[in-house]
Amino acid sequence: MRDLPLVSDPNLITGIEHAEDAGVYKLSPELALVQTVDFFTPTVDDPYTFGQIAATNALNDVYAMGGKPLTAMNIVCFPVKEMDIGILRDVLRGGLDKMREAGVLLVGGHSVEDSEIKYGLSVTGVIHPDKVLFNRGAVAGDSLILTKPLGTGILSTAAKSGEIDPQQLREAIDSMTRLNKKAAELIMENGSIHACTDITGFGFLGHASEMVEGSTVGLRINSAAVPLFNGLQKLVEEGFVPGGLYRNKEFRIAQIETADIFPSWLLDVFFDPQTAGGLFFSLPAELAASLVGKMHSAGIGAAAIVGEVVADHPGRIFVY
Ligand code: CO
Ligand code: CO
């Protein structure tokens, strides 16, 4: 998207220039629109579950900006001649159930005939213009918190080959169908968040890189504290990595430095493209532990302090 001409408008709070999670446009001093769109091919076999995952993934981009989603529209690509329409019905039902959980109203949609099924949402939400959470703005001394385990791309890839046990897949699905609604509410209640994004297609270190690229701060990530799904080492070493993982790694590896001894499978996991991943944000260190505690009490059990923001290697990430 970097070759597109940039739009400038005094009411545009975030546009396309900083890889933000959603566009934000100010309507009045008290109200801004949050808009995002996301759709993709199935990541799991079950149509209803796929619908839930795709809707969660799209809605989460509004939460990542600190916004409240209000309305959504379905985006559907479907091979109407080759596939049973009942499958589409199940996908849409999954999406609808997540919209209901989010308190979001379905107001329309569009479908086209395609060789492969694809589903997602365009979501519109609102936020106070002064409360928008940007992916940049982290301050040296901040703590970094991640709210969901990593590894959904690897687990989904292995599941397609029937290489993981149902329990392992269940955990990944539970995570991919969990809205970041409650986590975002706790974040907004805290009110002291400096930078926030959600972990999706570019992987943990990809989105972390966006947070510091070209800025005056860098990150230090304590890999032992980063929440992961079980069994990832074996799957990565057996080659169950999604195509996007190595693209993510290649694109961002120049920004990353690791400790002398760092397991290569774990670095791969840190670039695993996530679907409907957790929120990743920075806040003053003295506020971090109590917010993690509140998240645990609210059922966001994986939330953890995973690192800190530093001034000594601006724009770069050190992983140990
Ligand atoms: Co996002
Ligand atoms: Co997105």
Q: How far is the CA of 201 from the centre of ligand 1 (A)?
A: 8
Ligand lying closest to the C-alpha of residue 277: 1
The rounded Å distance from CA 246 to ligand 1 centre is 19
Q: What is the pLDDT of residues 130-151, one digit of tens each?
A: 999 999 999 999 999 999 999 9
Q: What value does the mean pLDDT of the chain take?
A: 95
CA of 171 to the centre of ligand 2 (A): 22
Using the predicted structure, report yes or no on whether residue 18 has a pLDDT greater than 60.
yes
Name the fold adopted by 12-130.
60s Ribosomal Protein L30; Chain: A; (3.30.1330)
Q: Which CATH number fits domain 134-319: 3.20.20.140, 3.30.420.40, 3.40.50.300, 3.90.650.10?
A: 3.90.650.10
Give me ligand 2 centre to Cα 64, in Å.
10
| Residue 163: per-residue pLDDT | 83
Nearest bound ligand to CA 199? Answer: 1
Cα of 21 from ligand 1 centre, angstroms:
4
pLDDT in tens, 259-314: 999 999 999 999 999 999 999 999 999 999 999 999 999 999 999 999 999 999 99
- How many CB atoms lie under 10 A from the CB of residue 30? 10
20 CA → ligand 2 middle, Å: 9
Determine the distance separating the centroid of ligand 1 and the alpha carbon of 276, expressed in angstroms: 8
Residues whose CB is under 5 A from ligand 1 (ion)? 21, 61, 64, 198, 200
Compute, in angstroms, the gap from residue 130 CA to the centroid of ligand 1.
20
Q: In sequence order, what DSSP letters do the residues of the chain get, joined into one string?
A: -TTSPPP--TTEEE-STT--SSEEEEEETTEEEEEEEEEES-SSS-HHHHHHHHHHHHHHHHHHTT-EEEEEEEEEEE-TTTS-HHHHHHHHHHHHHHHHHHT-EEEEEEEEE-SS-EEEEEEEEEE-GGG---S----TTEEEEE-S-B-HHHHHHHHHTT-S-HHHHHHHHHHHT--SHHHHHHHHHH----EEEE--TTHHHHHHHHHHTTSS-EEEE-GGGS-B-TTHHHHHHTT---HHHHHHHHHHGGGEEE-SS--HHHHHHTTPPPSS--EEEEEEHHHHHHHHHHHHHTT-TT-EEEEEEESSSTT-EEE-
Res 15: pLDDT: 77
Q: How confident is the model at residue 4 (pLDDT cuts 50, 70, 90)?
A: low
| Cα 206 to averaged position of ligand 2 atoms, centre (Å) | 13
Q: What percent of the chain has pLDDT over 70?
A: 98
Which ligand is the nearest neighbour of the Cα of 20? 1
User: Start-end ranges of CATH 3.90.650.10 in the chain?
Assistant: 134-319
Q: Which residue ranges does the chain devote to CATH 3.30.1330.10?
A: 12-130
Question: What is the number of the ligand closest to the CA of 65?
Answer: 1
55 Cβ neighbours under 8 A, 6+ residues apart: 72, 94, 95, 96, 98, 99, 120, 121
pLDDT band at 3 (very low <50, low <70, confident <90, very high): low
Mean pLDDT in residue range 243-248:
96
* pTM of the complete model beyond 0.85: yes
Quick check: 41 pLDDT over 60?
yes
Number of C-beta neighbours around residue 256 at 10 A: 20
